[in-house]
């Protein structure tokens, strides 16, 4: 039993050390800013804000989410940025694909720069398993779902929508 306990303790310490090693992107990293991610079919469009402190806000369908991310300082071989994104908050509503993203969901993506200044979003660094393209957004990320639709969500008032997932945006 002692070896099981020490094994679990070691695993917990290693996990905590990994979490503590998370760091924001390098100053001036090209990912910082607001991006629109559109799947290749054109049926799903997300709005992502990558902040300089290593956190994101995202809106997809009815879902509002926040996460922490790490990204390579430079594009690795063969020219892709490795992005690791872990969801820290969600309003629990479905994204534009109809799925609900749980807190703790972690994804590794590879962002391949395009000739037009955008980024191909791929599941592998070789560019064979890509899901869509990110381009710089022409607009800022809205404060809440009600602000995107022009009317309050049927499940919340405009006031509660402003005080929803992103408390730092409370009015």
51-88: string of b/e by CB count within 10 Å (b at 16+)?
beebebbbbbbbbbbbbbbbbbeebeeeebbebebbbe
Distance, in Å, from the CA atom of 5 to the CA atom of 16, rounded to the nearest integer, reads 16
Q: Round to whole Å and give the CA distance between 50 and 56.
A: 5
Q: Which two tokens stand for residue 93?
A: 């509503």
What is the DSSP track for 104-154?
T-EEEEEEEE-TTS-EEEESSTTSSSEEEEEEE-SSPPPSSHHHHHSS--T
Ramachandran bin of 23, using left for φ above 0, alpha for ψ from -120 to 50, beta for the remaining angles:
beta
Going by C-alpha positions, the residue among 18, 136, 31, 137 that lies closest to residue 80 is 31
Q: How many CA atoms lie within 13 A of 62 on its CB side?
A: 12
* Residue 18: per-residue pLDDT: 36
104 Rama class: left (phi>0) / alpha (psi -120 to 50) / beta: left
Distance (Å, rounded) from C-alpha 47 to C-alpha 95? 11
The pLDDT of residue 140 is: 66
Digit-by-digit pLDDT tens for the chain (171 residues) are 444 333 333 333 333 333 444 679 999 999 999 999 999 999 999 999 999 999 999 999 999 999 999 999 887 767 899 999 999 999 999 999 999 999 999 999 999 999 999 999 999 988 889 999 999 997 666 655 444 433 333 333 333 332 344 333 322
**For residue 165, which of 139, 147, 138 has the smallest C-alpha distance?**
147
């Amino acid at each position: 039993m002692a070896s099981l306990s020490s094994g679990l303790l070691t695993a917990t310490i290693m996990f905590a050390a990994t979490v503590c090693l998370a760091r924001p992107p390098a100053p001036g990293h090209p990912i910082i800013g607001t991006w629109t991610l559109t799947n290749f079919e054109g049926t799903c469009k997300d709005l992502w804000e990558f902040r300089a402190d290593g956190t994101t806000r995202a809106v997809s369908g009815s879902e509002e989410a926040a996460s922490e991310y790490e990204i390579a300082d430079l594009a690795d071989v063969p020219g892709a940025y490795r992005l690791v994104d872990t969801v820290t908050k969600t309003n629990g509503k479905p994204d534009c694909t109809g799925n609900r993203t749980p807190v703790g969901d972690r994804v590794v993506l590879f962002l391949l720069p395009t000739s037009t200044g955008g980024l191909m979003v791929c599941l592998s660094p070789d560019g064979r398993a890509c899901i869509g393209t990110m381009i710089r957004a022409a607009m800022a990320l809205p404060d809440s779902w009600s602000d995107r639709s022009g009317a309050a969500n049927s499940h919340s008032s405009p006031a509660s929508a402003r005080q929803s997932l992103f408390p730092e945006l409370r009015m």
